Amino acid sequence: MSIDLIVLPCVKGTARWSDIWHQWVQTLGPFRDCLGERPALCRLGSETPIAEQETLQIDGYYHFVLAAPSTLSLGVESNAGNYDEQGVVEDFGRNLSPEAIAGTVDCWRSAGFCYSLTTMGGRGEHEPELFVALGAAVAETCRGHVIVMNDVFDLGIGVYSAQEFGRAAPRF
Amino acid sequence: MSEAPPRKARPGELPPAEVPKKQPSTQEQQWREPQRLQRSQVTITGTADHAHEVTQATRFGQQEGGGTFDFLGNSSQGIEGYFTPKGTTQRLPVSLKDLSGTGRLPNIISTINRNAKQVTAAGEAGAAILHVRLGQFKAQQVAEFIRNGPLIRMPNAGVFKTLIFDCADRALAQGVRFLR
């Protein structure tokens, strides 16, 4: 089964691919060889890599071409028409105080978009570690928070900082 | 992040036990309940090597009367793999989702919309089947939500041939044409 994460940004404007890539390398530690020398990000349905300096597009969906097998994809989704920010954070932010929920909602509303990360069923051996590191890297890049929506990490369902999520142990 | 006590249900949220009994409408009676042939044999092929993936694929296959589920693995985009129903040579693209973590049905919409875009980009629009684990809700709740909520107006209608919601008490399945 596929597993999704949502990353709520706390800065306006979407990230550059190169910023995510370099943060991902830093976060990965011993698994960085899985990325290869030049990991590529392509729009879904295309095998043409986007430029390293390219900024991700809102409503854009991307997949990765890495040294290791990958089913990972990354999306950038507008809040409008897709998300009830308050309803989402209240639902999944079970580890947050009411004040932290309000602050997270304000940040996300202000940004106006979020990132979505997906790993598909049939993933490779080290993809869970790649997935955790990617979630932490995207959150670090946008100074945001990661929403865990399934009980597939040792953290449990909740909303976490980049540092907290980066230490998560996947159970899939 | 500071700790907080468990959150109570929001106004408007109905825990399963509080769902009022209601006679099914004509529309609801048309919902197809997938076959529950627990003895139907499902063969898993491909690179699914994690138990929970096999579990959901097997459950889907059993509900469809048996067959072969072939995980795509490395090349998968938008779907997990293809299901070949028993006795046929069809290869039906299938996406498996576990949305059992949410307490609010409206929060399933963004995930379904996202998957629809992924399926479309993967070139499987129109033929795909989406199987969703929603064991925290009863089928009647989900049926009412679809009928009265945004799912019935999904802008992505036409992407999924069939949506299957595996609920606490039974599974609901329906073709997208009905949902429009």
What proportions of chain B, in percent to the nearest 5, are helix, strand and coil?
30, 25, 45
What proportions of chain A, in percent to the nearest 5, are helix, strand and coil?
35, 25, 40
Q: Where are the alpha helices (DSSP H) in chain B?
A: 26-29, 51-63, 109-121, 139-148, 176-179
Joined together, the tokens standing for residue B3 give 């700790």
A123 shares contact with chain B (CB less than 8 Å) = yes
Q: Classify A104 as helix, strand or coil.
A: helix
The answer to pTM > 0.80 is yes
Residues of chain A found within 8 Å of residue B136, distances taken between Cβ atoms:
none
CB contact residues (below 8 A), chain A span 13-52, against chain B: 43-45
Calpha distance A2→B91 (Å, rounded): 19
Calpha distance A17→A54 (Å, rounded): 6
Q: How many CB pairs under 8 A join A and B?
A: 139
**Nearest alpha-carbon partner for A40 in A6, A76, A68:** A68
- Which among A118, A120, A161 has the least Cβ separation from residue B1? A161
Residues of chain A found within 8 Å of residue B98, distances taken between Cβ atoms:
1, 3, 150
Distance from CA of A49 to the nearest CA of B (A): 15
Residues of chain B found within 8 Å of residue A63, distances taken between Cβ atoms:
77
Q: What is the pLDDT along chain A (172 residues), one digit of tens a residue?
A: 789 999 999 999 999 999 999 999 999 988 889 999 999 999 988 889 999 999 999 999 999 999 988 889 999 999 998 899 999 999 999 999 999 999 999 999 999 999 999 998 778 788 999 999 999 999 999 999 999 999 999 999 999 999 999 999 998 8
